[in-house]
Structure 1
Amino acid sequence: MTTFNEPFTFTNGVKLRNRFIMAPMTTVQSFFDGTITQDELHYYAQRAKGVGAVITGAANVQANGKGWPGELSIAQDDKLPELTQLANVIHNGGAKAIVQIFHGGRMSEPAALLGHQALSASAIPAQHRDKTRPTPIPRAMTVAEIHATIAAFGEATRRAIQAGFDGVELHGANTYLLQQFFSAHSNRRTDAYGGSLEKRYTFIKEVIATVFKTVATYAQKPFIVGYRFSPEEFTTPGISMADTLYLLAQLTQTPLTYLHVSLDDYQRVATAADYQAKSILQYVHAAIAGKIPLIGVGGVRTRTDVNHVLQQTELVAVGQQLLVDPYWVQKLEQGCDADMISSDFAQAIEYTNFSRPLYDYLVARYRSTPNI
């Protein structure tokens, strides 16, 4: 069985010192215009010292795709100096630096858009698990806006290369725009970007093609391009496991460096009756069949969790545990399991010194249900 301290080399030659990835997490620590702060740099510098790679929290590729106040931006060239600092502090910790790029689509908070209407595949509001959350109606994107957004993903990739990052992760999960185009709930279009599964995949396909064209043009060394996806939606209609297996069949035919499943629990079982014989992670692993490395995630807090995930994946992402326990990987490597923070996350956030925006965000987060 694969062990967590084994190095891993992607097919493009990029080598990680171990099998741990810091999962992308929202920190709300950027300035309102998306510029990185010193607090944010310190946060990543701490957690880069043990993992093989750090995936940053989501960075918007367009101002109209900003998801929330305090979000990182990679939408303009004037962000390059601070983005370069971010890549450098991650590298100084010994980890590879990957920036997650996205567009919030209909999930963009009104406060982030300064009153402008959110955009999506169709004019269908989001359906939250938390019924108290507002669900403003987005505006359906024109074809010209779709093309501009696809180009913006390419430009964001160029900036990531120029800032010294080792890769980008396309955020096709957690109900954001890439997922919205693939979902039958949010995409009711009747043109080339909507309708059948194949047409709903078109936006994703074109974004991936544009990103790889950008890499071929600008990258002077091997550059990682990963894709994160959510395997199910709780809405009807919505993304089902059958839809996800179709998606994986398409993604495994691309030059993507890795796939990253978004799960709150690596042992989670699908809601669909036809896919309950084993965990979602096991179904995903079987569908990919080793064609592209898979990152598993979801509630990884102990040595046992790590070993279980690595039975189905090549790499394991750790999110909330690293949030509250920045040196967790080192504790694992040194056999100091008893020193790991193991309390409920709502309590554990009191043990770590966070910036005020992040602390306030975490307090609110653990009183709500995330979209996964």
Structure 2
Amino acid sequence: MNAKYKDLFTPYRFKNGIELKNRIIMAPMTNFSSDDDGNVTDAEVDYYARRSKGVSMVVTACTYVTPNGKGFPGEFGGDTDEMIPSLERLAGAIKDQGAKAILQIFHGGVQCPSDLVPDGDVVSASDVMGDNQEKKARALTEAEIEEIIEAFGETTRRAIEAGYDGVEIHGANGYLIHQFFSPMTNQREDRFGGSLEKRMTFPMAIVDKVKSVVDEHAKHPFIVGYRFSPEEPEENGFSMGDTLSLVDALADKDLDYLHVSLFDFFSKPRRGVEDVEKTRMDYLLETIADRTPLIGVGSIYSAEDARKAFETGVPLLALGRGLIIDPDWVQKLADGKEDEIVTEIDKEKQEQLVVPDPLWNAIIHTPGWFPGV
């Protein structure tokens, strides 16, 4: 191993005692490859197993906690106890390769295609239009909100029973938790909307519910993380400053980690902070101030990309597209073969890369998403 990368291979111990063998994590990425009933498929299991050997921890693609939360075709479910064997298969495939298995749990809200949810009844924080909708989503009642909070807890219990090492609450990327935090999609006037603090009510309630379920059901230390987006591009969306308030509150929740969702690790804020020349990661690390570890992510393809990112002081790095492009990324770095790391997708090597057909088709038909396409 080249000495300048050795710090990436130091172990990391969470406050709860769980230890990661290195600082490199597989980021959650939707793969569209489960069956129509929400069961994990062989192709999905093979895809994860192929990428779980070098990394210390794998965060799965998101799994829906209620039937009306399914956000994608080919998404796997965690909404009933009947899904536990399916969830267990995936956890086992990851853990058999030596990585910790983290189940990402979510509800798609207004982003759910109407043909994937019961009766086409798409819901959100308020009556808002989604990116791909023909009609507005329906605002959830307070009772329904409480049911969804409970559902996050129930899916956490299933993750525990299925053998996962933890869960990641998906509060990013425009899905339901994000929709409650955003003033664009949350126009409520009850306790779940209005001020910035009230728009945090739903995310915080989910964190509290998940943690209480872990306290009740987990017989061993169990990781709880939270993923968030830094800001919205629209002027009437939430700003980087709003997110720093959210992150400050989350950092006091005794979570095991926070995980920012970024396309570019070194990107800079749009608005809501004084110095837009400082990176988002700089602001986040300052705000969190060592209260809980932050996972950084975003266009890390080469060994040098990873080294530069790690030098910012972020304790953990997640790779998404990089591990799809080169499943042996971590092993090559560990073996001193960083020059052999592949940084662009090879469109002739789907079979060798063990990428399921639905994900492969999305990659090669989405210019600009992956280098080389």
Normalising by the residue count of structure 2, what TM-score does the alignment of the two structures yield? 0.93
What SS class does the counterpart of residue 105 from structure 2 fall into?
Answer: strand
- Between the two proteins, what is the percent identity of the paired residues? 43
Q: Using the alignment, how far apart are the partners of 1:134 and 1:83 within structure 2? A: 30
Q: CA deviation at 1:285?
A: 0.8
Q: Using the alignment, how far apart are the partners of 1:136 and 1:362 within structure 2? A: 29
What SS class does the counterpart of residue 170 from structure 1 fall into?
Answer: strand
| Aligned twin of 1:152 | 151
CA contact (8 A) 1:119 1:138 kept: yes
Matches within 5 A, 1:163-242: 163-242=162-241
| Aligned twin of 1:362 | 363
Q: Using the alignment, how far apart are the partners of 1:315 and 1:303 within structure 2? A: 15
CA contact (8 A) 1:69 1:111 kept: no
Structure 1 unpaired stretches of 5+:
none
2:343 maps to 1:342? yes
CA contact (8 A) 1:341 1:348 kept: no
Partner amino acid for 1:331?
K
| Equivalent in 19, 42, 49 of residue 45 of structure 1 | 49
2:302 maps to 1:284? no
Q: Using the alignment, how far apart are the partners of 1:200 and 1:348 within structure 2? A: 47
Matches within 5 A, 1:37-186: 37-113=41-117, 116-126=120-130, 128=131, 133-134=132-133, 136-186=135-185
CA contact (8 A) 2:180 2:192 kept: yes
Q: CA deviation at 1:356?
A: 1.7
Label 1:88 to 1:140 Cα distance change in 2 as closer, same or farther (>3 A): same
How big is each residue's C-alpha offset from its partner over 1:307-349, in whole Å with a ceiling of 9 and x where there is no partner? Answer: 2222231100000010121111101111212221122x48587
Q: CA deviation at 1:288?
A: 0.5
CA contact (8 A) 2:325 2:343 kept: no
Q: CA deviation at 1:248?
A: 1.0
Q: Using the alignment, how far apart are the partners of 2:179 and 2:258 within structure 1? A: 18
How big is each residue's C-alpha offset from its partner over 1:259-292, in whole Å with a ceiling of 9 and x where there is no partner? Answer: 0000000010111273412111111111111110
What SS class does the counterpart of residue 292 from structure 1 fall into?
Answer: coil
Q: CA deviation at 1:203?
A: 0.4
CA contact (8 A) 1:281 1:312 kept: no
CA contact (8 A) 1:103 1:177 kept: yes
Partner amino acid for 2:274?
D
Q: Using the alignment, how far apart are the partners of 2:129 and 2:15 within structure 1? A: 40
CA contact (8 A) 1:12 1:222 kept: yes
Q: CA deviation at 1:225?
A: 0.3
Partner amino acid for 2:317?
V
2:33 maps to 1:29? yes
What SS class does the counterpart of residue 170 from structure 2 fall into?
Answer: strand
Q: Using the alignment, how far apart are the partners of 1:82 and 1:145 within structure 2? A: 27
CA contact (8 A) 2:60 2:103 kept: yes
CA contact (8 A) 2:363 2:369 kept: no
CA contact (8 A) 2:110 2:124 kept: yes
Partner amino acid for 1:5?
F
What SS class does the counterpart of residue 233 from structure 1 fall into?
Answer: coil
| Aligned twin of 2:306 | 306
What SS class does the counterpart of residue 72 from structure 1 fall into?
Answer: coil
Aligned length: 363
Q: Using the alignment, how far apart are the partners of 2:128 and 2:233 within structure 1? A: 15
Superposed CA RMSD: 1.9
Q: Using the alignment, how far apart are the partners of 1:110 and 1:225 within structure 2? A: 30
How big is each residue's C-alpha offset from its partner over 1:219-272, in whole Å with a ceiling of 9 and x where there is no partner? Answer: 000000000000110123111011011101110110210000000000101112
CA contact (8 A) 1:349 1:362 kept: no
